[in-house]
Amino acid sequence: MRRILLGPSLFALLIPFAACGSTPLRSAGTVCSSDSDCGAGLSCLGLGTFTDAGCTTLARSCSKACALDSDCASLGSNFKCLVACDGTRACGATF
């Protein structure tokens, strides 16, 4: 099982997107609050972190569902197929 770890620097990058009122549709990896925020083919999916105590959703990001890392290739070389807290799989940016 892979762990999705989001550091303070990632949240600092996401804050400007969350603060905008009316913005154009967002690309993969940017923060969102609903599917309508995201560009074509993307959905607003939860990002979380797994610990021994369980999983916590930390933020929601425009992404797409996947089964394999190769399903994420169209989003960029730094996107991998990761397990979300609810058991679904979504493409997430790795650093």
Tell me the per-residue pLDDT of 45-76, one tens digit each, with 9 for 90 and over.
Answer: 987 788 888 888 878 899 999 999 999 999 99
Task: Determine the pLDDT at residue 71.
Answer: 96
Q: How far apart are CA 72 and CA 59, in angstroms?
A: 19
Q: How far apart are CA 79 and CA 47, in angstroms?
A: 13
Task: Determine the pLDDT at residue 23.
Answer: 59
Are the C-beta atoms of residues 85 and 48 closer than 8 Å to each other? yes
